[in-house]
Structure 1
């Protein structure tokens, strides 16, 4: 806490808890003789708030958090204040259910406004009422989250409740909350306080506020009349056949109000809009119609087979509102992934006037700091930009799995960071994910697969636990944030020692008591699984490297465990007849299942010998029939996420050109013109391959952060750059024979950048610009040059293998 920040004196407030209100409206006036130089409002709520000052919308929040480390926002609202009476108005919405692995959920609002000597706090002097227009039985958007669709009856909505002129005299006073758990209970006369269960610690927001913008719909792509009336718009197959009303389209393109009139036989009218790009946002409607008229608002991130369908990606984005007869303004409470929006207007016997259709777009304030491109291989920049788009649309207050699940998974944080470090160079999101998963660690050392909790499923996925340790190491490597890593090291120690307790005499985790993920692909999970144990091996090695970096004892003990495990993987899983590593060893016997997963890990972690690597690579690179799930040989194919290890492994064994050819063959269709040019969850949008064969009619997300690894792959195996010292202070740089002659890149290094350019045609040249505080070890031997190597026209001696380059511009010819 900064010296200027006051201690909390606010109380958590809500409606009487016996009412079980899930949405409340709260107001408080404050009189100002002068406008202060600075006016800080600290605000939080469970689950979210919408803040208004003097009738002006300010923002919403807070950032996701578990209640035991409740995030609060810290906002200067001075520009919105005036002399005289000022109004602070807040809408807060609570969704019952699990919010944490350790506490039950509870509804609450907390506000503290600090103005020089004055202070306004949430307490029982606030006016507060339940928002009864909100339907408590709204359906969840998907099974992965608490977020629900809106079912709102505007007839009981408090219109203009947030404006100063609104009369709130009939509202009740807010209820101050006190501890409601534990024995003995509160005795009489105990005063409410800021820190009560489950909000036992308040954490100032440690990521930037999200960008919010108002985006109007202006591209009408379909008008459809319903004669019978659909039973469910969600299940209705809406073909985008180009049928539109030209007059209506013109009005919408000019953002003019328009009237929908109905034929007597019509049950309703459907309008479909294209916002031009996928964005996360809250649908907004300004509309007037006969009292009781029903509207449905549907969102979809992409179109599948020329059809609009709101049940896309295993989620339903259908909001329902009932009009009041007045001029209604409705805004969805939860954001939707939306490129396409459909509005169904019921024919209730009178025209409906629509004044505005829009999205309140939200986005994390990423700044594009990196760049990768090649004039000879345009796909380099295509995948770089696809990575940036994928991370952007999957990120709000966290880099999440996708916009379908919205969960902050441990393995998602690992893969997402591989793209994020090279595109945006953002460290705050990665730090926050590591901290929030660690906050939910159990006493035995196990950690959940994602945090904060979104539903009651206590999900332990052991390879996610390994990914958390690997992510901690990568975070230290890229950020150099030694203080945070030291804080999290005890968490890593408890976890790594727990995993060690699951190992057999050969150092292999064998038949563990918890499940493991392997990207839901078909894999033999009996006994000791190769892929999972390879993830554990990498976690062990990363953990021991962290101990070395931080000058901690016992690193050698973990290195010894890692060597034993590596040796067991080498010896017990290699099948000479198949020329592959098998999926599992059960009671000393090899499984008959093989997968690209296991063999990708064998290559990526250099478990295979050179001879084995050659054989494995040839089998993976062999052209055969497959359905992106199973190869003709019977080998299970990797999913998009595990492709990181597949291509890394092929490159490690010298198959760089072949690896990137395969990469393009598999990922290329994701960038087709009729897509959002994002990286998908599976190889298909209309099916799944998790059973080992293609299963149709199972839609998935077209933006999956676990597929956002290409920039990290490109940096090391196209550009030859690899960070080797925490904080990106030192890198290695070598020539990689990728077959691409011209490559340019900008690599984020904190607030600075490395500029690199390879020209490897007839005249071979490398240009690199290094910022202050960064050094690069140039691997001269990798040039394999028969002629002399020159650095800034200065010839290197023949025995030079490594040349250290510090701040400056360099031209290397060879």
Structure 2
């Protein structure tokens, strides 16, 4: 039987050795139809942290036709049309594949005028590798302006281009830690070029640009259309704490309070003598034990204003201003991913409301070019984090957020190596290590499948299916029927102690099989479904034979305390049957070793096993310190901060927000039962909560649920169009009245079940 299992595994996962073909992935490559040239400056540039200014004037006849500028850079740009700022930080960190580059399309019709117009573009070239960026190794710009399908302007030698020498390439130490491709931003106002973005600026003395190559050429290669929205710009705002201006600095650090942890760019207006250095950084400057970015401004003589363009994050902005400088104003600009907080959940216990509030804030501050683990130390797309973040986004944010998950999925499979391994974080220029557990999670039930379940996006599923199959082919079944632990580059498992890694890997492998089986069913791969079903059955039998030790799961060589993570994952994976729930429940009441990342699965297991009261109790116990803390609006990486935390102890880590998903999915009971919310269930497990009100912004529209679980059981629900809800009412109630009429139901274990079509329903159970 063991040899048969191995043979089945080899057959169903056999695949070609070649890497994923770009023609098979949804990157919308333009191909060779770019007419423009990649251009740069004739004058030499710094190897890293270079800033370039480009200008182009042209004649334009305004009409009703659409006018689109498409452009690409390595690494970021700011765009003005006739002196009007049109894009505040365009461009995406490089790496749709290991060799290619993203480009933007911008509708600039409203900014154009009849007659002469001027395009001005400021480019920031990182020139460094990072955990979020694959450097091309060369600073450049390519741009084309179209009026409908007619090419009006393209980058060539008629453009003006200079190194923007007011930006100093090398700051004093400390530098941002090695994970970040961004450098500190230092601006010397004495070298500024006032009004250079305006239409009437005289640029005759600027040298013409130098052409590097034409169209889609190395080192930028294929150009891939930006798959996510441009950032939301909240505009310049005053800080929360009231400061009376003008104010003459005494040489102290001025601490300006932000309303919450946010991605911000600092602004100042001062009157000063030339040559004074002002430093701007946040309380998160050394967040997670490593230095992040800071900004510096060197004054010119007289009144002046400046905004540092590279975003940083935190709860407070610190301005270190030399003595004698007259401060006229200090402000900040928040920018962030274009999405709205349209999901809401509120219960009669303020602890859980505060947890959700902090979870959403943490989620938002870890979204930008990609989902991040943390917006300070790394900004990196670790897929263990992405799985939890995307799960939260499906409930808390509008559907614009789905594009960021989709982008991450495509990047993951397009960075798949020829040996079929995948790894994260990607895009990356200085990291290539596989974390096997996180990779299994990414392609599995809570990763790729959960995306499809919430979106119904079958085209995306089709395009990631083969790469998933290839990756799973790497995993080999042992003689005893369990999976061999692949070390990859870093067999991590989780932060903390008492990690039973073989069980963690085996449970996540089974979840990956579960996701792959569901994907195969969705794509009509009948033979694959049959083979996987057999493999999963044999694997489950083997898993329980090898790892179950009468009252808990444990691998042979593991000698630590019973690992709560592995017990929880065995339940949510479906490896543990109900006859083991009682024993696992006993374990989870005493063993508490998981980090906030893995704690989500422990709590979910408690809900699934039918212990909602203890799930809520443990959630409150484990997360109390960070939820009740009044200093931070975001959740932490570990159970403490700094040395008390894990991995450096950052104070903004979205993997700690799993409780938000669980409150929507289990306490309020809302979860899809078929892709794209064609059907969904309302199966509340309120535990000791007496009142729950929730709105889920599903792909079909808002789902609304309000539960009153006190002296009587009242459930108000709203089902959106083109969807159906399966409603579960506890069996202890005899009669179920829906909109004034008694309903006919079926039975499902401890529940009475019925289905409702789109509309509003008031349900009373007696």
Per the normalisation by structure 2, the TM-score is: 0.87
> Cα distance 1:378–1:520, how it changes in 2: closer, same or farther (>3 A)?
closer
Q: 1:25 offset after TM fit, Å?
A: 0.8
Contact 1:97 1:456 in 2 (8 A): no
- Please give the per-residue CA displacement for 1:532-553, whole angstroms capped at 9, x wherever unaligned: 2211110111111110121113
Aligned residue number for residue 351 of structure 2: 379
Counterparts of 2:175 and 2:539, CA distance in 1: 44
Aligned residue number for residue 147 of structure 2: 115
Counterparts of 1:101 and 1:89, CA distance in 2: 25
> Cα distance 1:198–1:439, how it changes in 2: closer, same or farther (>3 A)?
farther
Counterparts of 1:676 and 1:469, CA distance in 2: 33
Contact 2:57 2:117 in 1 (8 A): yes
Q: What is the correspondence of 1:238-317 to structure 2 with a 5 Å cutoff?
A: 249-251=243-245, 257-260=246-249, 268-301=251-284, 314-317=290-293
Counterparts of 2:705 and 2:287, CA distance in 1: 45
- The answer on 1:106 being equivalent to 2:133 is no
- The answer on 1:432 being equivalent to 2:407 is yes
> Cα distance 1:460–1:790, how it changes in 2: closer, same or farther (>3 A)?
same
SS at match of 2:706: strand
Counterparts of 2:185 and 2:492, CA distance in 1: 33
The match for 1:352 among 325, 336, 339 is 325
Mind listing any 5+ residue stretches in structure 2 that lack a counterpart?
1-26
Contact 1:294 1:321 in 2 (8 A): yes
Counterparts of 2:584 and 2:120, CA distance in 1: 64
Q: What is the correspondence of 1:409-808 to structure 2 with a 5 Å cutoff?
A: 409-426=382-399, 427-453=402-428, 455-470=429-444, 471-498=447-474, 500-501=475-476, 505-510=480-485, 512-524=487-499, 529-552=502-525, 553-576=527-550, 579-582=551-554, 584-586=555-557, 590-622=558-590, 637-672=593-628, 674-690=630-646, 700-736=649-685, 738-779=687-728, 782-785=730-733, 787-796=734-743, 802-808=753-759
> Cα distance 1:205–1:102, how it changes in 2: closer, same or farther (>3 A)?
closer
Q: What is the correspondence of 1:46-61 to structure 2 with a 5 Å cutoff?
A: 46-59=74-87, 60-61=89-90
Q: 1:636 offset after TM fit, Å?
A: 6.0
The match for 2:217 among 170, 184, 196 is 196
Identify which range, 412-421 or 110-119, moves more after superposition.
110-119
> Cα distance 1:504–1:137, how it changes in 2: closer, same or farther (>3 A)?
farther
Contact 2:166 2:191 in 1 (8 A): yes
Q: 1:73 offset after TM fit, Å?
A: 1.8
Q: 1:368 offset after TM fit, Å?
A: 2.5
Aligned residue number for residue 209 of structure 1: 230
Q: 1:611 offset after TM fit, Å?
A: 4.9
The match for 2:210 among 147, 159, 175 is 175
Counterparts of 2:667 and 2:200, CA distance in 1: 63
Contact 2:693 2:706 in 1 (8 A): yes
Counterparts of 1:433 and 1:615, CA distance in 2: 38
- The answer on 1:362 being equivalent to 2:313 is no
Contact 2:476 2:483 in 1 (8 A): no
Counterparts of 2:126 and 2:117, CA distance in 1: 30
- Please give the per-residue CA displacement for 1:477-523, whole angstroms capped at 9, x wherever unaligned: 0000001110111111111112x247555231235344233233335
Give the aligned CA root-mean-square deviation in angstroms.
Answer: 2.8
Counterparts of 1:342 and 1:545, CA distance in 2: 50
SS at match of 1:339: strand
Counterparts of 1:706 and 1:208, CA distance in 2: 23
Q: 1:20 offset after TM fit, Å?
A: 4.4
- Please give the per-residue CA displacement for 1:141-192, whole angstroms capped at 9, x wherever unaligned: 33322111112333333333222343323322111113xxxxxxxxxxxxxx
Counterparts of 1:102 and 1:491, CA distance in 2: 21
> Cα distance 1:112–1:669, how it changes in 2: closer, same or farther (>3 A)?
same
> Cα distance 1:562–1:5, how it changes in 2: closer, same or farther (>3 A)?
closer
- Please give the per-residue CA displacement for 1:252-287, whole angstroms capped at 9, x wherever unaligned: xxxxx4444x6xxxxx33222112322211122233
SS at match of 1:753: strand
- Please give the per-residue CA displacement for 1:354-396, whole angstroms capped at 9, x wherever unaligned: 333222220222223222112x323343333222211112112
Contact 1:98 1:105 in 2 (8 A): no
Counterparts of 2:225 and 2:478, CA distance in 1: 40
Contact 1:754 1:769 in 2 (8 A): yes
Counterparts of 2:287 and 2:579, CA distance in 1: 49
SS at match of 1:687: helix
SS at match of 1:712: helix
SS at match of 1:407: coil
Counterparts of 1:561 and 1:140, CA distance in 2: 51
Contact 1:280 1:338 in 2 (8 A): yes
- Please give the per-residue CA displacement for 1:1-39, whole angstroms capped at 9, x wherever unaligned: 99x999532211112496446221111111235466532
Contact 1:464 1:516 in 2 (8 A): no
Aligned residue number for residue 154 of structure 1: 189
Q: 1:127 offset after TM fit, Å?
A: 0.9
Aligned residue number for residue 37 of structure 2: 11
Aligned residue number for residue 6 of structure 2: none
Contact 1:372 1:380 in 2 (8 A): no
The match for 1:80 among 105, 111, 115 is 111
Contact 2:133 2:181 in 1 (8 A): no
Q: 1:328 offset after TM fit, Å?
A: 4.1
SS at match of 2:588: helix
SS at match of 2:52: strand
Counterparts of 2:651 and 2:162, CA distance in 1: 41
Counterparts of 1:447 and 1:502, CA distance in 2: 19
Contact 2:668 2:686 in 1 (8 A): no
- The answer on 1:96 being equivalent to 2:143 is no
The match for 2:57 among 8, 14, 29 is 29
Contact 2:482 2:506 in 1 (8 A): no
Contact 2:437 2:493 in 1 (8 A): yes
SS at match of 2:671: strand
- Please give the per-residue CA displacement for 1:435-460, whole angstroms capped at 9, x wherever unaligned: 1121111111111212211x412131
Counterparts of 1:368 and 1:669, CA distance in 2: 25
Counterparts of 2:257 and 2:462, CA distance in 1: 48
Per the normalisation by structure 1, the TM-score is: 0.82
Counterparts of 1:554 and 1:534, CA distance in 2: 21
> Cα distance 1:58–1:761, how it changes in 2: closer, same or farther (>3 A)?
same
Higher relative contact order (CA 8 A, sep 6+): 2
Counterparts of 1:783 and 1:509, CA distance in 2: 43
Contact 2:715 2:763 in 1 (8 A): yes
Counterparts of 1:101 and 1:502, CA distance in 2: 36
> Cα distance 1:6–1:103, how it changes in 2: closer, same or farther (>3 A)?
closer
Counterparts of 1:330 and 1:735, CA distance in 2: 52
